[in-house]
Amino acid sequence: MDLSVIIPVYNEEESIQELTDWIEKVCTNSKLSFEIIYIDDGSSDSSWEKIVSIAAAKETVKGLRFRRNYGKAAALHTGFSEATGNVVITMDSDLQDSPDEIPDLVRMINEEGYDLVSGWKKRRYDPFVKRITSRFYNRTARWSSGIKLHDFNCGLKAYRLEVVKSIEVFGEMHRYIPILAREAGFRNIGEKVVEHRSRKHGVTKYGLDRFVKGYLDLLTIGFITRFGKSPMHLFGSMGTLMFFMGFIMASYLGVRKLIFINENLKAPLVTDSPFFFIALTVMIIGSFLFLTGFLGELVNRNSSERNLYLIRDKTNLN
């Protein structure tokens, strides 16, 4: 199969039929064999009924349903596990991503050799505050990751099948799939300017809290990619440094007391100095950090591969 199109859905009943027809028209005209995989992320409207109705009439459409809202990352992770096309494309279900971009995205993967192509909504139909905060967020992501993309969070992306089978998307990490792909060894990452359309139905499902979560997730992914496999490198180094600092402070107090005794002077009690308690506290914290790293290594080396979001209601409608 040439193509799998993965579409997370959350309360988008008005858009599903139009989006399906549009994708089908584009793929048919481009002579692409395809499948459309809808993941209903716990919608409270009739989105699932729409998907069931469409899938009953079209063999190219599949449906997966979560019992409740798990989030976009879980939906994508599930869609990735189901995809069979040589190229995998993700897009949002609100009609703001244009299916007309599909042929060029497929060509960039198949002919230009990209592992991943991320859309860039250069002209956005979003509120001013959202545009400004998104620009600032993307600059931070580029600086911290070294990946030169303008729009990390664009829902319209294309992947080689091997990429989606090699990464694990969890939590809110859908924003940083290019970083996950690079860490998995797929470094040929490209970008394409794509059309961003104004919302036709419904309202946005994201609030301003998404930007706070975005930066927290950036810290998380930075930690996971650098120290996820070797937590001792972080906690062990910090613990050793703090223990050494505390030991130096305690040694200073001990040497000072010996000097006083050697000079036949009245030596102050070591416990009278606040440095004693600071040194003791720092050494204890250092020991705990080192122990945390050691335990992290034991857990990491003895744990099996994680498989998140197994609790779901899955329906294959073919």
More confident residue, 318 or 221: 221
Domain end call among 169, 203, 227: 227
Is the four-CA dihedral 292, 294, 298, 301 of positive or negative sign?
Answer: positive
Is the predicted pLDDT of residue 164 greater than 70, yes or no? yes
Q: Which residue has the tokens 């209903």?
A: 40
Task: Please report whether residue 154 resides in a domain.
Answer: yes
Q: pLDDT tens digits for 247-304? A: 998 888 888 888 888 888 887 787 888 888 999 999 999 999 999 888 887 776 665 4
Task: Please report whether residue 152 resides in a domain.
Answer: yes
Give me the domain span that covers residue 236: 231-302
pLDDT at 42: 92
Domain end call among 227, 252, 281: 227
167 and 97 within one domain: yes
pLDDT at 47: 93
Task: Please report whether residue 184 resides in a domain.
Answer: yes
More confident residue, 186 or 140: 186
In 3D space, the residue among 99, 88, 72 whose CA is nearest the CA of residue 35 turns out to be: 88
238 and 191 within one domain: no
Task: Please report whether residue 316 resides in a domain.
Answer: no
Parallel, antiparallel, or unpaired: how do β-strands 61-65 and 34-40 relate? Answer: parallel
Write the DSSP string, 210-225: HHHHHHHHHHHHHHHH
Highest mean predicted confidence (pLDDT) among 241-245, 257-261, 304-308? 241-245
Task: Please report whether residue 298 resides in a domain.
Answer: yes
267 and 184 within one domain: no
Residues with Cβ within 8 Å of 295's Cβ and at least 6 positions away in sequence, in order, are: none
236 and 217 within one domain: no
Q: Take residue 69 and report the two structure tokens written for it.
A: 């809202």
130 pLDDT band (50/70/90 cuts)?
A: low
Measured CA to CA, the distance from residue 67 to residue 71 in angstroms comes to 12
Q: pLDDT tens digits for 190-241? A: 999 998 876 666 566 555 566 666 666 667 666 766 666 678 888 888 999 9
pLDDT at 311: 37
Domain count, the chain: 2
pLDDT at 146: 80
Q: Take residue 21 and report the two structure tokens written for it.
A: 């027809």
Q: Identify the burial level of 79 via C-beta atoms within 10 angstroms of its C-beta, where 0-12 means exposed, 13-18 middle and 19 or more buried.
A: buried
266 and 220 within one domain: no
89 and 183 within one domain: yes
75 and 150 within one domain: yes
In 3D space, the residue among 221, 152, 144 whose CA is nearest the CA of residue 191 turns out to be: 152
Domain end call among 177, 209, 227: 227
253 and 214 within one domain: no
Across the range 105-118, mean pLDDT stands at 95
Interior/surface letters 178-194, b for 16+ CB within 10 angstroms, e for the rest? bbbbbbbebeebbbbeb
Is the predicted pLDDT of residue 179 greater than 80, yes or no? yes
Task: Please report whether residue 26 resides in a domain.
Answer: yes
pLDDT at 307: 39
Q: pLDDT tens digits for 8-54? A: 999 999 999 999 999 999 999 999 999 999 999 999 999 999 999 99
Q: Take residue 75 and report the two structure tokens written for it.
A: 């939906």
139 and 239 within one domain: no
25 and 153 within one domain: yes
Task: Please report whether residue 307 resides in a domain.
Answer: no
More confident residue, 310 or 122: 122
pLDDT at 138: 78
Task: Please report whether residue 62 resides in a domain.
Answer: yes
pLDDT at 51: 95
- Enter the pTM of the model: 0.71
Q: pLDDT tens digits for 56-90? A: 999 999 999 998 998 898 999 999 999 999 999 99
275 and 197 within one domain: no
Residue 12, domain CATH? 3.90.550.10
276 and 127 within one domain: no
